[in-house]
């Protein structure tokens, strides 16, 4: 069974690397020729378009940034939907349940099976193959592609036949991540302003009830030493929390806290943070407070 991968960005490049390293024949496509060429040198076969890739493979994996891009690649005329070979599409992107369900219905009209399988863990987990994968759709499709999913992820969950269930879980996860990050940033900047040490605050929080992904991993790894590595853009995490709020409203579930985090992230995007890692959003709280959280190694923080 030949597989293909569309999307070789911050996350997708690690999928391609791991699949090739595991000995799986792979066809790749990306709108950036240089990204495709990199993996051709590693043994992948190149495709000239999404349809070309689908014509050379039996199962297609997608790792794309936006719901609109997934829809275009999967269901637009001249896309994968016109393939006469590929019968399985596995979407590793984050699109939200409504879009996923719509894509699944459209592909089904051409007898193409669809599995929504968004991932969580970011670029570090993608590189290590330790991602969490939240899959939903036909059970027999999940069982068929599970050996490939095990190459790119460690924590595999099958959530049921409903195509959008994995997407619902993913946007809940990312919304909690966003809310925790915004709340942690403003609280930690307050602590610095009040005279507390940045590193000691994290040490205390991480053995206390205030700990979260933000305090355990994101802030220590990306902010404490002021290195701000690119892992996940502000634009993308804003997209995910926006999807979650909209889906909740659609089914009649009120949200009070999440919209505040969404508004702050939207503000950050207007300040030029859209394509920067969302760790940079702490700089707004720092600017308003007149202090800096953390410092470069061997450099004292400025309370």
Residues listed for the chain = 303
Confidence check: pLDDT of 12 > 80: yes
pLDDT band at residue 303 under the 50/70/90 scheme = low
- Sorted by where each starts, the structural domains of the chain and their CATH numbers stand as 3-163 (3.40.50.720), 167-289 (1.10.1040.10)
User: 162 — phi, psi (to 5°)?
Assistant: -65, 120
Give the closest residue to 52 by CA, choosing from 18, 24, 86: 86
Q: Average pLDDT for residues 97-126, to the nearest whole number? A: 95
Model pLDDT, residue 296: 80
Model pLDDT, residue 1: 83
Q: pTM (2 decimals)?
A: 0.91
Which residues lie across from 89 on neighbouring strands? 60, 114
Average pLDDT of the residues of the chain: 95
Q: Average pLDDT for residues 90-111, to the nearest whole number? A: 96
For 1, 53, 56, 97, 146, the CA distances from 82, given in Å and listed in that order, are: 19, 11, 13, 23, 25
Dihedral, CA atoms, 134, 138, 143, 145, nearest 10 degrees? -70
Instruction: Give the residue numbers marked as catalytic.
Output: 170
Confidence check: pLDDT of 300 > 90: no
Confidence check: pLDDT of 301 > 80: no
Q: Average pLDDT for residues 18-34, to the nearest whole number? A: 96
């Amino acid at each position: 069974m030949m597989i293909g991968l569309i999307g070789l960005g911050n996350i997708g490049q690690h999928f391609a690397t791991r699949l090739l390293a595991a000995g799986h024949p792979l066809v790749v496509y990306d709108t950036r020729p240089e990204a495709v060429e990199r993996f051709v040198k590693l043994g992948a076969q190149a495709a000239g378009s999404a349809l070309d890739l689908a014509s050379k493979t039996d199962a297609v994996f997608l790792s794309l940034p936006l719901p609109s891009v997934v829809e275009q690649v999967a269901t637009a005329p001249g896309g994968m939907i016109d393939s006469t070979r590929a019968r399985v599409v596995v979407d590793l992107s984050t699109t939200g349940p409504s879009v996923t369900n719509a894509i699944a219905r459209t592909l089904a009209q051409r007898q193409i099976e669809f599995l929504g399988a968004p991932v969580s863990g970011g670029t570090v987990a993608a590189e290590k193959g330790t991602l969490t994968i939240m899959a939903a759709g036909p059970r027999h499709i999940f069982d068929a592609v599970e050996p490939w999913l095990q190459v790119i992820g460690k924590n595999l969950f099958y959530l049921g036949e409903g195509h959008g269930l994995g997407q619902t879980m993913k946007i809940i996860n990312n919304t909690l991540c966003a809310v925790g990050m915004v709340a942690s940033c403003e609280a930690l900047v307050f602590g610095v302003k009040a005279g507390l040490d940045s590193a000691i605050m994290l040490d205390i929080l991480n053995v206390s009830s205030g700990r979260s992904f933000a305090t355990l991993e994101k802030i220590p790894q990306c902010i404490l030493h002021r290195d701000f590595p690119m892992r996940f853009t502000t634009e993308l995490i804003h997209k995910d929390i926006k999807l979650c709020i909209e889906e909740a409203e659609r089914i009649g579930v009120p949200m009070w806290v999440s919209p505040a985090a969404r508004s702050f992230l939207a503000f950050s995007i207007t300040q030029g943070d859209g394509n920067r890692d969302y760790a940079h959003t702490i700089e707004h709280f720092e600017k308003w407070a007149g202090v800096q959280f953390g410092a470069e190694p061997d450099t004292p923080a400025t309370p």
